[in-house]
Amino acid sequence: MDISLVPRGYYRRGNFFSKIIHDTLHKKTLSSSGTPFYVTKQNVLISPSQYLGHIDSYVRRAEKLALSFEPKDPLGACRIRSAFSLANKTHYGQFRLSGEPYIIHPLSVAEFLRKRGADEETVVIALQHDILEDGIIDGKKATKEFLAGEMGEAISFGVDGVTQLGKPSLVDKHSKHVEYAIKNIRVILVKLVDNLHNMKTLRYKKPERRRTISMEALNVYAPLANRLGIWDVKRELEDLAFRWLDPKMFRKIRSKRKTLISSSVERISEIKKTLLPALQMIDPDVRLVLETRCIYEIYQRMQKRNILDVEHLSPADIWRVNVVVSDREKCFTALDYVHRMYHPDRNNFPDHINSPEPNGAQFLHTYVMVPGFGMLLVQIRDPQMQAYYHSGIIANPSLMKDSSWLVGLLKDLRSQMLTVDDEVYNVMEQHILPITVYTDKGGEFQTLFGSTVLDAIRVFGEKSFLHALVDEDEKSLSRQLADGCTLSIRTAENITAKLTWLNSLNTLDAIHTLQDYLKSLSDEEILSNAKKALDKGSQKFYLPAEVLIKTRLFKKYISSLGFGSVEEFLRKVGIGEIRVQHVVPQMNNEIYREELLKAEKKEYAPYYYFIRTLDRSQILSRLSWSLCTRLGFNMVEFSPVYTGEVFRGRREVIVVFGVELYRGGIDDNMVSEIQRLQVQTIAERVLLYDPKIIKYPNIGYGALSKNEVDALILLKIKTK
């Protein structure tokens, strides 16, 4: 191992335990504030030997956490040891309200995340997530600069994103978390589990604080966990919050649930024994996992089904069966076998494999009538889907490729005047929770907030999506849907998906479906579509796409993106992997302006041009508006010259104009090349503005030398 790569504070594995204990033993038996160890709320004194006994067990747990990264990632294991060592040092002598040493909290958060497959960066942030808020180093508060020096900028950024200093308002607190999460989604992952672990010690808080914290957990953190697919965290947060928000109902449901589990466990086990052999015929590796609904989940079920008394609950309200088969295709075969054994509810088995849930979860969902039990929920997944069911994006933060919903949430949190907690909750729920959309045929489905009509159509399958026809107007496809709206979906075989539809999509599933279709086209179609799409943006730059892609400016731009040829870049545009609406603004802001700054140090020179056309109103104003107002050129010559020719009652005119360009074409730099082409484009637009003029046989335009300009001006003088 290259020692230069080992983080500061790293200790060899064999010395890790003894080094931590050695550092702790040689500290004064005082808290970081200089007072004897005690827990304020309970006034329980903790002796140094008791404290070190706790630290002993935590060190062993931290070593086990580090070993989970070996042998695949020994450097990651080193960083885990270093992170725990630093966290233990900064939280030395600090206690939680429960009476436990404070270090157990970040350690427990890190363990929870690692158990669900979190990477090294997430675990390190979890171990150190309270250092900036509560950590003391050498008698002073730990700072971002200190943490960056010890663990690196990425970790310092992540920890700062989770940190809550002082007592910010609810909107300021969540605005900060969201802002940081846009750049690193691990901030939200750590914050969710941080909140979950804190909820478990809520009984030590005052009653009013319990309710406030529980409301936040139920209205913010549980929906966030659901949005990221982390159903384990969502359900546990809901139960912990519900316990304090409605303790009477919580106890009633918990008691009834326990009774029903006890009375029906034999019957559900028999059902499992009946199902398993049948499913093993198609997949010897099939697993059946019995699962009980959580307390708040049962409460929601009661609300939805209008069950007024817990005594009306049945075992069917408690149990569900998860079938895990070895691959995706066997999910559908397993569904067929389950339906052969038990009569299904034909109106309720949605395919969430081909049409994933808004949070990305995939499964087959069906209710079947089981004799002596009732309607039993069966969900079918493959191992990858089952892992996502429990962990969401924890094991793979890169799955959260689309952060636009976080950007929209941050914008609304900061732009709206939110003064009370309920207003903040409403805004966050609006962006986090899925919306329900109804079809004109009586169906309903859920999709993400911000979904467009085209996003929603994807839920009904690829064919409906690729041949979508809504109100016979393509613009209607980009309309964002509101919760509870009704959607009319029609298709037409002569309508096929277009590259421009990409601008109307906000959900990854719809985007990927469109990209897959675009990839299936021929190379000629892909390049043609790319040029057409690029042309819409380049025309605002006063350059047609066919002209722009031949310029040195464009070639420099695509080279800066790592493309070796124009064709390679256009192919990426044509298959939808590069958003075409960003190309010209990005090229203008990042490349062209840089070249302009270089060109400003050079001299200006006039560039002369002419337009031969028929006299008509607004020709001069259109030229001056485009050249001066839109592009900012300085005109040095502007003169109409009448030649004496007449066509269909209109006089022929040669409009001579000159603009100052950088080096005026003498030095063929990128800026002057673009500016000359822009002048040419404007001349073409002015000529083609009036359809009647196009029929004039002598129509034309072109560049002029100074001598040619002088000759035309002389002609103007003679004809007066």
So what's the pLDDT on residue 689?
65
So what's the pLDDT on residue 232?
92
So what's the pLDDT on residue 720?
57
Which of 121-125, 215-219, 285-289, 359-363 has the least mean pLDDT?
A: 359-363
pLDDT, tens digit (0-9, with 9 covering 90-100), for 233-259 = 999 999 999 999 999 999 999 999 999
Which of 101-110, 457-466, 623-632 has the least mean pLDDT?
A: 457-466
Q: What percent of the chain has pLDDT over 90?
A: 42
393-421: average pLDDT = 81
Task: State the pTM of this model.
Answer: 0.72
398-419: average pLDDT = 80
Residue 716 has pLDDT above 70, yes or no: no
DSSP 529-549: HHHHHHHHHHGGGT--HHHHT
Amino acid, single-letter form, for residue 444: E
pLDDT: which is higher, 603 or 666: 603
Q: Are 225 and 192 in contact (CB under 8 A)?
A: yes
**Structure tokens belonging to residue 394:** 């924890």
Which of 217-226, 448-457, 459-468, 544-553 has the least mean pLDDT?
A: 459-468
So what's the pLDDT on residue 718?
60
The rounded distance, in Å, linking the Cα atoms of 549 and 567 is 10
Which of 63-77, 481-495, 673-687 has the least mean pLDDT?
A: 481-495
- Considering only the C-alpha atoms of the chain, give the largest distance between any 2 of them, rounded to a whole number of Å: 111
So what's the pLDDT on residue 327?
93
Nearest to 91 by CA among 132, 150, 49, 39: 132
In angstroms, the first-to-last Cα distance of the chain is: 89
pLDDT, tens digit (0-9, with 9 covering 90-100), for 8-37 = 333 333 344 444 444 444 343 444 455 444
Cα Rg of the chain (Å, integer): 34
Alpha-carbon torsion, ordered 571, 573, 576, 579, to 10 deg: 160
Q: Return mean pLDDT, the chain.
A: 83
Question: pLDDT band for position 95 (50/70/90)?
Answer: confident
So what's the pLDDT on residue 112?
96
Q: What percent of the chain has pLDDT over 70?
A: 87
So what's the pLDDT on residue 644?
78
The rounded distance, in Å, linking the Cα atoms of 676 and 659 is 10
So what's the pLDDT on residue 150?
92
So what's the pLDDT on residue 290?
96
DSSP 410-437: HHHHHHS---SHHHHHHHHHHHHSPEEE
DSSP state of 56: H
120-124, 508-512, 651-655, 684-688: which is most confident: 120-124
Which of 120-129, 399-408, 466-475, 657-666 has the least mean pLDDT?
A: 466-475
pLDDT, tens digit (0-9, with 9 covering 90-100), for 533-579 = 898 888 888 888 899 999 888 999 899 888 999 999 999 999 988 88
- The domains located in the chain, with CATH, are 3-163 (1.10.3210), 248-391 (3.30.460.10), 434-500 (3.10.20.30), 521-598 (no CATH), 602-719 (3.30.70.260)
The rounded distance, in Å, linking the Cα atoms of 383 and 402 is 24
Distances, alpha carbon 279 to alpha carbons 267, 332, 338, in Å: 19, 12, 8
So what's the pLDDT on residue 469?
62
pLDDT, tens digit (0-9, with 9 covering 90-100), for 162-198 = 998 778 888 889 999 999 999 999 999 999 999 999 9
